[in-house]
């Protein structure tokens, strides 16, 4: 299998190139040149079995199967349940996929615990050194640090918007006392952090000199690891299932789209946004229109530039890189673009969007606690709000994604329910741990200067 850029301006690469490079040299995102399919009669048993089968489709000889299985077993040994991503049934129609059982109690652990081990595998094999650069709205940073801090030869810089993540999210990044880990607070929002990462990857000389690699969902390997939990869950519903996915950067719901392309029995994908509703507005109009980022109770979704949407748009445009580049150029220059009706229809056949403001978020937390005796975080609440809005129009069973443990956002949960969720035992002393971070101006040059020392 080869990986091509959505913008068509660089040679195809293999899985290793997509893993270690992250962003394509032409500024595009890597995607498989053809979509593989799951074998006929596919019937997964354990989560590790599903992961081995799915990832083998994308790795094409990068790693032998026994070694891959060993890495998978090590990656998920730190999760507090053997199922990795357990499915919890709440009523006859609704189940919740719990993705917060990893070491940083958020869904990013599922991919990044594996990604760190893939980096380590390659770096030990080649003796290379890399600089891992990532942007986070809250959860990616801590999961990336936890997953990659032991990778041999890796220096890790995580950019996050200063004073925007929750205290738990921030402390999970800033209390890691490791010489190769650098938590960097940027005086801006997540989109600013993401733009800096892309700008530095576009700087060919700097990228080469530092051997940059990415941990954001611009890295195809991270998407591939997230595809696993959709495939594993969907095969519990042979007649088909709908997923409701709270998302800002479109990476998580794009992984569901990939699972569907592989042949998993998936029906509709509901894109659930908070007040930063650029995706909802797109699915209502066919126009991607950037606006100002507004702080919300679900800060991991406070995003107005959904980077991974480029991948699904590439498919919807018939994999035409020139058409894709036109859209991206318009977005860069004008902050907006329109997609052709034919491409829009392709997307609407799979996706629908909905928004949820802070009042609805609190109401969903309270309602879920009252009706099911189940406590959810504000991001998961966005998905539950969407379920109540769409439950009469979605055919078949529905799975809502629980993307973070409620203890990551205790203030919002307490406001909605009157009870403050405790941190898991492994994080019980988090508020006492000393913090280490650097505050810098909102500029790529400031980050470059920090990395160069």
Residue matched to tokens 């799915």: 54
Specify the pLDDT at position 61: 87
Per-residue pLDDT at 44: 84
- Distance from C-alpha of 233 to C-alpha of 290, rounded to nearest angstrom: 33
Report if residue 9 sits inside a domain. Answer: no
In whole angstroms, give the CA distance from residue 136 to residue 345: 32
Residue 444 lies in a domain: no
Q: Is residue 125 part of a domain?
A: no
Contacts of residue 363, Cβ cutoff 8 Å, sequence gap at least 6: 385, 416
Range of the domain at 402: 87-103+220-417
> Does residue 194 sit within a domain?
no
**Rounded alpha-carbon distances, angstroms, from residue 379 to 20, 330, 402:** 30, 30, 8
- Count of domains for the chain: 1
* pLDDT in the model for residue 21: 92
418: alpha, beta or left? (left if phi > 0; alpha if psi -120 to 50): left
Cα–Cα nearest to 265, from 316, 222, 230: 230
Task: Please give the C-alpha separations between residue 229 and each of 27, 44, 64, 232, 420, in angstroms, as whole numbers.
Answer: 28, 11, 22, 5, 29
Q: Quick count: other Cβ atoms within 10 Å of Cβ 8?
A: 16
How far is residue 66's CA from residue 39's CA, in Å, rounded to a whole number?
Answer: 19
The rounded average pLDDT for each run of 10 residues, N- to C-terminus, in the chain (453 residues) is 97 96 94 96 93 95 94 96 97 97 96 95 94 90 92 95 94 94 96 95 95 92 97 96 96 98 98 97 97 94 95 98 98 96 98 97 98 97 97 95 96 97 94 97 97 93
Per the DSSP assignment, residues forming a β-bridge with 29 are 23
Q: Is residue 7 part of a domain?
A: no
- 280 inside domain: yes
Tell me, yes or no, whether 72 lies in a domain: no
Does residue 96 lie within any of the structural domains? yes
The residues pairing with 338 across neighbouring beta strands, listed in sequence order, are 287
pLDDT recorded at residue 139: 83
Contact partners, residue 161, CB within 8 Å, separation at least 6: 137, 185, 186, 188, 189, 190, 192, 193
pLDDT (0 to 100) of residue 137: 85
- Virtual CA dihedral for 12, 194, 112, 43, nearest 10 degrees? -60
CATH number of domain containing 290: 3.40.50.1100
Kindly calculate the radius of gyration of the chain based on its CA atoms and give it in whole angstroms.
Answer: 20
Task: Please check whether residue 384 is in contact with residue 367, taking contact to mean a CB–CB distance below 8 angstroms.
Answer: yes
Instruction: Provide the sign of the torsion angle of the four alpha carbons 184, 188, 191, 194, taken in this order.
Output: negative
Strand blocks (E) in 108-253: 130-135, 154-161, 181-186, 212-214, 241-246
Q: Which residues are catalytic?
A: 108
List of E strands, 101-199? 130-135, 154-161, 181-186
pLDDT attached to residue 220: 97
Residue 216's pLDDT is 84
Q: What is the pLDDT of residue 279?
A: 97
């Amino acid at each position: 299998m080869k990986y091509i850029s959505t913008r068509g301006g660089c040679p195809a690469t293999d899985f290793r190139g997509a893993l270690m490079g992250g962003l394509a040299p032409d500024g595009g995102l890597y995607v498989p040149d053809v979509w593989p399919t799951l074998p006929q009669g596919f019937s997964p048993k354990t989560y590790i079995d599903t992961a081995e089968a799915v990832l083998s489709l994308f790795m094409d000889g990068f790693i032998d199967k026994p070694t891959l299985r060993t890495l998978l077993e090590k990656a998920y040994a730190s999760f507090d349940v053997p199922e990795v991503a357990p499915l919890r049934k709440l009523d006859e129609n609704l189940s919740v996929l719990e993705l917060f059982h990893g070491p940083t109690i958020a869904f990013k652990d599922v991919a990044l615990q594996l990604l760190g081990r893939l980096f380590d595998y390659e770096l030990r094999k080649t003796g290379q050194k890399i600089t891992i650069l990532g942007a986070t709205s809250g959860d990616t940073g801590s999961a990336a640090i936890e997953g990659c801090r032991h990778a041999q030869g890796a220096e890790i810089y995580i950019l996050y918007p200063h004073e925007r993540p929750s205290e738990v999210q921030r402390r999970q990044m800033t209390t890691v006392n490791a010489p190769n880990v650098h938590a960097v607070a940027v005086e801006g929002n997540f989109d600013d952090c993401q733009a800096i990462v892309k700008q530095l990857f576009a700087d060919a000389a700097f990228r080469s000199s530092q051997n940059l690699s990415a941990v954001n969902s611009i890295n195809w390997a991270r998407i591939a690891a997230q595809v696993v939990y959709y495939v594993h869950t969907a095969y519990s519903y042979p007649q088909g299932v709908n997923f409701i996915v709270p998302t800002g950067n479109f990476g998580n719901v794009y992984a569901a789209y990939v699972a569907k392309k592989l042949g998993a029995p998936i029906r509709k994908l509901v894109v659930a946004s908070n007040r930063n509703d650029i995706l909802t507005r797109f699915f209502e109009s066919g126009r991607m229109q950037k606006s100002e980022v507004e702080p919300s109770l679900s800060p991991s979704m406070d995003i107005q530039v959904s980077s991974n949407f480029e991948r699904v748009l590439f498919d919807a445009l018939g994999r035409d890189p020139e058409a894709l580049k036109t859209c991206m150029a318009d977005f860069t220059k004008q902050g907006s673009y329109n997609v052709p009706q034919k491409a829009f229809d392709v997307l609407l056949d799979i996706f629908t969007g909905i928004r949820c403001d802070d009042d609805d978020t609190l109401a969903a937390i309270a309602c879920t606690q009252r009706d099911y005796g189940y406590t959810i975080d504000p991001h998961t609440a966005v998905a539950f709000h969407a379920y109540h809005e769409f439950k009469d129009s979605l055919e078949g069973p529905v799975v809502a994604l629980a993307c973070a443990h409620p203890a990551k956002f205790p203030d919002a949960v307490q406001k909605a329910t009157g009870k403050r969720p405790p941190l898991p035992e492994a994080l019980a002393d988090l508020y006492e741990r000393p913090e280490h971070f650097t505050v810098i101006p909102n500029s790529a040059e400031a980050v470059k200067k920090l990395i160069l020392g």
